[in-house]
Amino acid sequence: MEIAIRLQGLVRSYNGTRAVDGVDLEVPRGSILGLLGPNGAGKTTIVRMLATLITPDAGRAEVGGFDVVHEAARVREIVGLTGQYASVDEKLTGRENLLLIARLLGLGRRDARRRADELLGQFHLQDAANRPAQTYSGGMRRRLDLAASLVGNPAILFLDEPTTGLDPRARRDLWRLVGELREQGTTVLLTTQYLDEADALADRIVVLDRGRIIAEGTSAELKERVGGRSLFVVVADSARLDDAAEAIARIVGEGPQARDSTLSVAVTSSAVVPKVLRALDQAEIEVVELGLRTASLDDVFLALTGHAAEATSEMSEEDA
Amino acid sequence: MKALDQTLALAWRSLVQVRRNPWELGDYSIQPILFLVLFLYVFGGAVAGSTEAYLPFVLPGVIAMNMLFVTVYVGHGLNTDLTRGVFDRFRALPIPRWAPLAGRILADLLKQALCIALLLIVGVLLGFRIETSVWEVLAMVALVLVFASAASWIMVLVGVLSRDPEHVQLFGFTALFPVTFVSTAFVPLDTMPAVLQPFVQANPVSLLADASRALLGGGNALEPALWTLVWAAAIAVIFAPLSVWALNRRLARG
Ligand SMILES: Nc1ncnc2c1ncn2[C@@H]1O[C@H](COP(=O)(O)OP(=O)(O)OP(=O)(O)O)[C@@H](O)[C@H]1O
Ligand SMILES: [Mg+2]
């Protein structure tokens, strides 16, 4: 198994605090790695080091067998990067943006034009192709940005929160595209705050917290550790929150996490739902909403670290 | 060869951008003409007795001033690229590190050349007569461009140090106004207070304006031209390494 990306004891500090604090990681060629973590976990810092935009303070990283510090020029020849924030030239049209990248990558005029049109089609940007990017919506800009990182058919692709700001259709399109890229043998490292995204895309998931890896495995392995789903209960009267938590703990066997008037706890089976409902009813606690949802990043973090993820992440909620 | 193609592609990009930005386009075309016409008709009578007499004096001055103002766009554009992430995209590509900057400065020189040509044409239409040979006119254009590329490095530094593009413009123009006006660009030296005269005489804008006047209208161009080149060299020697250092520092931080 050939390793496309290798990190060894990678460290990067900002103003004395370690944003990335000793990360070891290997990504096999042709696979997709999901780097999952809350705000400030160090995802972007890792991606920027791998894309040769910043240098590590300690440790080393190899991309495609090339050292990111000493062979940065070689690394740049084989990677594509979509940063967390769109980096398109707002004054150029969508097509011009892609043409520029193609020309910079050494494509001839005709090839550049063909590649630009191909990508504009793939990302549904034909209609806006001749408009300046500053007139694009956030999602369109994001798509243009993604297209720009694919111009050179990179062997290794870094996507930093690629679906942030995309509507559900564009999000699914991107998921499909990433799948196609894998089929073509592209290695992808993508970061995300969404468990379901890592779940849908990644062969392996690495969970990052405060610059360190706290868990690693396939999504099935992680879910097993987390419980996969979580039960959430919204009570009408927040004064009864503690009573409700107690009743739930008695049935699930674990104390739920409280936020505002919502309680949530990882569960392994949906059989607990009617039991919890009955218990709450008996305790005369009025319930506004109750259901199961896919384990959220919060749940993963609670299960893995014992503390909640620092920032809330919106999850696609799936009511039972 | 590849590096040259890449630099040209980046220069192309800077030029295409102008098309989409009416303000910038205006700054390269309408603004210099407006300056020329305003200065000529408002100050002409007071400074030189008549607009006809003032035109040969003020045209080189406006060319020098406009050249300096246009350099602000180098810093403005660079800062936009830095703050909007475009620079990062370029840096992740297999192109020489200096190419984005080189492309920008190259494009800028072309814009500068077009501005000079435009001002000369409008000047001629207003009655300006070039008294010298084609070679001297070309020497004048070359001198302005050499000074422009040196002055661009100052704006590169401003572009690197500023938080956002608006600050580049604010700082750039604020610094340029006194430099341009405390010079012989628009009024003769002897009309200014004695304390100011040494500064006016040493000011590269004065030297450039004087050299340009001589190269277009005849007279001794050699001395002011040489001093202008000395200034340009000094500015480049100081600001080019300083800008590159500041740029690398900014990039290493982020
Ligand atoms: N340029 C910078 N200057 C100072 N501190 C920084 C800089 N970039 C990142 N940091 C800090 O490093 C830590 C990790 O940041 P990073 O951007 O890598 O997190 P992230 O996982 O990408 O978060 P998010 O999900 O919000 O994008 C944070 O504490 C952040 O404040
Ligand atoms: Mg990030």
pLDDT for the residue A314: 37
A19 within ligand 1 shell (Cβ under 6 A): yes
In a domain, A318, yes or no: no
In a domain, A166, yes or no: yes
Same domain for A209 and A148? Answer: yes
Question: Cβ distance A156 to A187 under 8 Å?
Answer: yes
pLDDT for the residue A320: 34
Same domain for A253 and A211? Answer: no
Say how many domains are in chain A: 2
Q: CA of B28, closest CA in chain A: separation in Å?
A: 17
- Return residues 85-104 of A near B (CB < 8 Å): 85-92, 96, 100-101, 103-104
- Give, for A93, the enclosing helix (H) or strand (E): none
**B138, β-bridge pairs:** none
Same domain for A211 and A242? Answer: no
In a domain, A300, yes or no: no
| Partner-chain contact A100 B17, CB within 8 Å | no
> Which residues in chain A are contacts of B96 at CB distance < 8 A?
none
In a domain, A176, yes or no: yes
Same domain for A280 and A149? Answer: no
Same domain for A156 and A80? Answer: yes
A79 → closest Cβ in B2, B17, B92: B92
Q: CA of A95, closest CA in chain B: separation in Å?
A: 12
In a domain, A30, yes or no: yes
Same domain for A98 and A244? Answer: no
Same domain for A98 and A19? Answer: yes
Question: Cβ distance A23 to A209 under 8 Å?
Answer: no
Question: Cβ distance B88 to A87 under 8 Å?
Answer: yes
Domain boundary among the residues A223, A250, A268 is at A223
Same domain for A198 and A151? Answer: yes
Residue B161 burial (CB count, 10 A): 17
| Partner-chain contact B21 A91, CB within 8 Å | yes
Domain extent, residue A167, equals 3-223
Same domain for A140 and A271? Answer: no
| Partner-chain contact B251 A101, CB within 8 Å | no
Same domain for A109 and A238? Answer: no
> Which residues in chain A are contacts of B252 at CB distance < 8 A?
54-55
ipTM of the assembly?
0.87
Residues across chain B:
254
pLDDT for the residue A305: 65
Q: What percent of chain B has pLDDT over 90?
A: 75
CATH number reported for the structural domain that contains residue A202 in this entry: 3.40.50.300
- Give, for A274, the enclosing helix (H) or strand (E): helix A272-282
A14 within ligand 1 shell (Cβ under 6 A): yes
What is the DSSP secondary-structure string of chain B?
A: -HHHHHHHHHHHHHHHHHHT-HHHHHHHTHHHHHHHHHIIIIIHHHHHSSHHHHHHHHHHHHHHHHHHHHHHHHHHHHHHHHHHTHHHHHHTSSS-TTHHHHHHHHHHHHHHHHHHHHHHHHHHHTT----S-HHHHHHHHHHHHHHHHHHHHHHHHHHHH-SSHHHHHHHHHHHHHHHHHSSTTTS-GGGS-TTTHHHHHH-HHHHHHHHHHHHHH-S--HHHHHHHHHHHHHHHHHHHHHHHHHHHHHHHH-
Q: Which of B81, B254, B43 is nearest to B164 (CA)?
A: B81
Domain boundary among the residues A188, A223, A258 is at A223
In a domain, A306, yes or no: no
A52 touches chain B (CB under 8 A): yes
In a domain, A313, yes or no: no
**What is the residue-averaged pLDDT of chain B?**
92
Task: Kindly report, residue by residue over B182-233, the tens digit of the pLDDT.
Answer: 999 998 988 888 999 999 999 999 999 999 999 999 889 899 999 999 999 9
Same domain for A104 and A201? Answer: yes
- Rounded (10°) angle between helices B134-161 and B51-84: 40
| Partner-chain contact B89 A81, CB within 8 Å | yes
Residue B238 pLDDT exceeds 70: yes
Ligand 1, atom 1, lies closest to the CA of B254
pLDDT for the residue A200: 86
In a domain, A239, yes or no: yes
pLDDT for the residue B146: 97
Same domain for A49 and A144? Answer: yes
Distance linking the first and last C-alpha atoms of chain B? 31
Ligand 1, atom 8, lies closest to the CA of B254
CATH number reported for the structural domain that contains residue A285 in this entry: 3.30.70.2470
| Partner-chain contact A76 B93, CB within 8 Å | yes
Task: Kindly report, residue by residue over B102-126, the tens digit of the pLDDT.
Answer: 999 999 999 999 999 999 999 999 9
- Return residues 14-33 of A near B (CB < 8 Å): none
Task: Kindly report, residue by residue over B7-45, the tens digit of the pLDDT.
Answer: 999 999 999 988 877 777 788 888 899 999 999 999 988
Domain boundary among the residues A195, A223, A251 is at A223
List per-block mean pLDDT (blocks of 10 residues) for chain A, which spans 320 residues. 93 94 95 92 96 96 96 95 90 95 94 96 94 91 93 95 87 88 93 85 92 88 72 88 89 82 82 89 90 71 63 37
Chain A residue with minimum CA distance to B97: A73
